[in-house]
Structure 1
Amino acid sequence: MPRSFRVFHLLQVAHSALFRAADKRSRRMAGLTTTQIAILLILRKSDGLPISALAAQLAMGKSSLTGLIDRLADKRLVERRPCPRDARVTLIRLTEAGRAAAATALPDTRRHNAALLEPFSDDERAVIRRFLQHLTDNAETIINGPDDEDSAHD
């Protein structure tokens, strides 16, 4: 393979194909999107998070996440509760139904992760992990350059 290839394009196409297939399955199986399932799984590990913490873990804007939380609350899978230490903060907590939905989704998620990595050796998996972590940690600088990083927060 040539040293340079259209990695940005391939990432976009792979992301779209993967999440389209995953959303189709998760809507059919659980009536939820993959992002809604991700929220439930995050709360399963760390219940009672503010929206800002969920948004950071999902690399989403708080305004986009608010609509997802609203839909999960409408389905009675999560609830909003005031933070006992700071009344200005609202915590998102799983309901019993949400905990059950997360437990049901977890084996599927584990199977998807295993299937994604199955054709790769342990060394290749380490490179994939490093590459994806590099993207997560450096996306702003990769796209905007080191000089524009401060202006992205304005």
Structure 2
Amino acid sequence: MSKNRRIFHKLQIAHSALFRAADHRTRDQLGLTTSQLAVLFILSRTDGQPISKISTTLAMGKSSLTGLVDRMCAKGLVRRSPSKEDGRVINIYLEQLGRNALEQGARETSQFNTALLAPFSVAEQDIIERFLTHLAANADDIINGSSPIKKGDAGND
């Protein structure tokens, strides 16, 4: 009989606790929420994205993201600009203040990653990374059973 590990519940609790702590720290250190920092990270990879694409990447509703971007524009972190290809589309661009905040945010995030993994060996860190990558790539199948994963298949990602 296998032990009931309640992984789903533990992930939910860990996610809430982790992001509550990270949000508190980024607000104190950067004056930004973790969601605002996430937008900056996304724009640093590809600047000038429409809100719809950013909202998909963050799995966040467009209306929630619009309010978030409004606050970021007011702080001078990002700006809106009509797309050159389609004037109906508004793209979001990093401003210099956003780039500066992103540099500091990258340092904070690096510290978060170091602290998260510190108690684990390199081999355990590799397993944690593989587990989280597996979850992100297969969440829908895992939860909705579209294509059930057979025992032992999880390590093949």
CA distance in 1, matches of 2:135, 2:62: 21
Q: Please state whether the residue corresponding to 1:92 is helix, strand or coil.
A: strand
- Identity fraction in percent: 53
Tell me which residue corresponds to 1:105.
105
Gaps of 5+ in 2: 148-157
How far apart, CA to CA, are the structure 1 residues paired with 2:23 and 2:146? 35
Separation in 1, partners of 2:142, 2:21: 28
Q: Which segment is superposed worse, 6-15 or 48-57?
A: 48-57
Q: What residue is the counterpart of 1:128 in the other structure?
A: 128
Q: CA deviation at 1:143?
A: 2.2
Q: Distance in 2 between matches of 1:141 and 1:63?
A: 27
Root mean square deviation of aligned Cα:
1.8
Aligned to 1:18: 18
Q: Deviations over 1:103-129 (max 9, x none)?
A: 121111111111111222222222212
Q: Distance in 1 between matches of 2:118 and 2:55?
A: 29
1:94 maps to 2:94: yes
The answer to whether residue 144 in structure 2 is matched with residue 144 in structure 1 is yes
Cα distance change on mapping 1:56 and 1:126 into 2, 3 Å: farther
Matches within 5 A, 1:30-109: 30-109=30-109
**Structure 1 residue runs of 4 or more that deviate by more than 4 Å after TM superposition:** none
Instruction: Quote the Cα distance in structure 2 between the aligned partners of 1:28 and 1:69.
Output: 20
SS of the equivalent of 2:81 reads strand
> Residue deviations 1:65-124, cap 9 Å, x none?
222111111212111111112222211101111111111211111111111112222222
Q: Which consecutive unaligned segments of at least 5 residues does structure 1 have?
A: 148-154
Distance 1:132 1:76 in 2: 34
Q: Secondary structure at the match of 1:130?
A: helix
Corresponding letter in the other structure for 2:146 = P
Question: What SS does the corresponding residue of 2:119 show, helix, strand or coil?
Answer: coil
CA distance in 1, matches of 2:8, 2:16: 12
Q: Tell me the amino acid that sits aligned with residue 91 of structure 2.
A: L
Report the TM-score when normalising by structure 2. 0.84
CA distance in 2, matches of 1:97, 1:116: 28
> What's the TM-score once normalised by structure 1's chain length?
0.85
